[in-house]
Chains A and B, each alone.
Chain A
Amino acid sequence: MPEALLLAAALLFSAGGIAWLALAMEVHWQQAHGSATGPGRRTATALRVLGGAALLASLVACLVADHATMAVLVWVMSLAASALLVALTLAWRPRWLAWLAPWARRA
């Protein structure tokens, strides 16, 4: 069972990481917050660091769960699935992503 938990964590980290990287982009930040301005330089940097760290955590979880050869494949594919998930969320329910940057929520 811990293997399933590790993989679930890897998927969560990967989806969160990709979402943070997307939020660091001006157009997607605007979609998520319904605002006309972007995230600001400091927030954007923070989001990128957070996103990168989450993706790294996802890779580590994959490596702990499986043999390294398999872990790399799982990780790369989880990035692809996360990217599609984030893109579709931005298309249909962009406001949901604002929950991932609660410190910067605005009316």
Chain B
Amino acid sequence: MFSTFRLSMTWLHTWFGLVLGYVLIVVFFFGSLSVFDREIDRWAIPETRFAPQPMPSFDTMLAPIFARMAPEPDELKAAAARVKGPLPATLAPMNWGAYTTHRDPVLSLYAEYAVPNNPADPDDHVHGHATLDPRNGRLLPDDQLKIGSEFFYPMHYGLNLAWKDLGYWIVGFAALVMLAALVSGVVIHRRLFRELFTFRPRKHVQRSTLDLHNLTGVVALPFHFMFALTGLTVFASIYLPVSETLLKPQAVAAAMADAAAKGLPFKPAGVQAPLASVDAMVVEAKRRWAARGMPGEVGYLYVNHVGDRNSTVTLYRAGSDRVTLVGQPIHFEGSTGRVLLEEPSPSAVASVNDFLTGLHLQHFEHWLLRWFYVFGGLCGCACIATGFIFFVEKRKRQHAKAGTGGARWADAVAVATVTGMLVATLAILVANRLLPADLAQRGDWEKAAFWGAWVLAAAHALWRSAPVRDARLSSAWAEQCSAVAALAFAAVALNWITTGDHLVRTLAERFWPVAGLDLALLVVGMIAGAAALALRRRAGAAIAKSDPAASTVDAAEAANA
């Protein structure tokens, strides 16, 4: 099809990069935000603006809350359609879990409840969730949207497209293409090492955009490669669900053999038994971790076969000082509190998998590395955005001459994804501060603000894209940069007005979750404002050049109109 290998790689890089780039930039951007998802949650839910808390007492605080928890109503409704006859009034809990990290002031709890009488699936179950304030055991209202961890983070790995897990598959395919784009990019780059540090901002746009594309791509190449790869391994069980389909009997048999080898009961005994003191088990677990030379806190607490004689309690150490998320699990017999098994160090394969997962999900305590991840993610965004601009710059004159609209469309979609995404992200933060606190389904309104703003931005990008037809710059870029600046400053101002947490206060208290986001918003606002000014000046200069009769002032006004 192509005369040389490099040409075929160029074709692959150009077209797959363009089409999947629109998805990848979303993944990169919301991935970068997810590095600070918990901090964004604090900004969005002002009553949770307090210091991170350790795992609270199970016996006095968590046990009664778990006992009161109930399955999610929409999951119950769906389950009722799957079973023969009516669902029982209350479902028995199968297991309880509580997870926390060194960044969580609030504690997330979840439970699984057995759904009986499903002929198709004897293990059918539904979930329940709760979030509590560990200082006093008060539950948080569940219609409050945790914008960071429940909206931006799912956006990163599934685009918030829940239907048939379509979002997961699109992101997974994009990650695969990302790997291909990196390899083909290295192949087609003529002077990878000789031009490693080359950025020529004073050359023409096409040249300097390509420089910036190469720079942000090559400099962070290890990051881009490892994150695309580990992103795929984290969700390997979704993309290749063999243990749930083809190999399910073998997978179940392996799990049973594993449980038997470890002396852990695989199934409930069917005999009720109370739970011994979990707090005593926590003391014992911490003693054992300290004895292994790695003292730590409980990161994950899991009770299996709740209320049964075969119940077990597993305590995992929080991996704040390691790349691995949680580890060194110790299993206790629920009814007696006796240690059943202290798991030995994982095998080499398991360690590698834990490292790759932990590398991507980063729950460790290392602020410098977190910021480096944001840097890597934003390099990815810059690389993709400059890729779009290069694509358009390279073609727009030819297309203008030939009268075809390809470059115009590519540019409009690029505006909609690059600046439109920023507009939508800031819109949800502004909506979060503007909507009344007692509004029913407040979270849904916030999401509506996000999608609504994005749709408007896309429509605006299309509407204002006409100049590209004449090989000029779309006015939508500058206008949306202005919108981004205005929204970013508005978000900071609204946070001050509605909560009283202005930067002087949050910085004095060193409350970084809110101070950090406010500072980041100010920086975004300033960069976007400067970009808008520069783009307007450039558009004005271009018009003045093409029409010497028009004065510069008139031209600038025309560009603004």
Contact = CB atoms under 8 A, between A and B. Distances in A.
Interface in B343-397: 355, 359, 364, 366, 368-369, 372-373, 375-376, 379
A57 interface: no
A47 interface: no
A90 B200 CA distance: 9
A87 B219 contact: yes
A74 B372 contact: yes
Report whether over half of chain A's contact residues are helix, strand or loop; otherwise say mixed. Answer: helix
B376 A90 contact: no
Given A66-B366, A70-B323, A91-B201, A77 B219 contact: no
B379 A70 contact: no
A80 B219 CA distance: 5
Given A69-B323, A73-B369, A77-B375, A84 B215 contact: yes
Contact of B197 (A66, A67, A77, A86): A86
A90 B375 CA distance: 20
Contacts, number: 72
A83 interface: yes
Contacts of B194: 25
Nearest to A18: B197
Given A84-B216, A84-B219, A77 B200 contact: no
Interface string B536-549: 00000000000000
Contacts of B223: 76-77, 80
B220 interface: yes
Contacts of A88: 199
Contacts of B321: 66-67, 70
B193 to A, nearest CB: 9
B369 A83 contact: no
Contacts of B196: 22, 83, 87
A93 to B, nearest CB: 12
Nearest to B202: A91
A91 B368 contact: no
B413 to A, nearest CB: 27
A92 interface: yes
B198 interface: yes
A92 B200 CA distance: 9
Contacts of A84: 215-216, 219-220, 379
A55 interface: no
Contact of B379 (A7, A22, A69, A80): A80
Contacts of A22: 196-197
B442 interface: no
B129 interface: no
Nearest to A73: B369
Contacts of A58: none
Nearest to A83: B219
B372 A78 contact: yes
A80 to B, nearest CB: 5
A70 B364 contact: yes
A33 interface: no
A44 to B, nearest CB: 14
Given A7-B368, A90-B197, A73 B215 contact: no
B372 A69 contact: no
B222 A80 contact: yes
B322 interface: yes
Nearest to B382: A84
Contacts of A83: 196-197, 219
A28 interface: yes
Given A7-B368, A66-B366, 10 more contacts: A69-B323, A70-B364, A76-B222, A80-B220, A80-B376, A83-B196, A84-B215, A86-B197, A87-B199, A90-B197
Interface of A: 7, 22, 25, 27-28, 66-67, 69-70, 73-74, 76-78, 80-81, 83-84, 86-88, 90-92
Q: Which 6 A-B pairs rank lowest in CB-CB distance, beginning with the nearest?
A: A77-B372, A87-B197, A69-B323, A83-B219, A91-B199, A80-B220
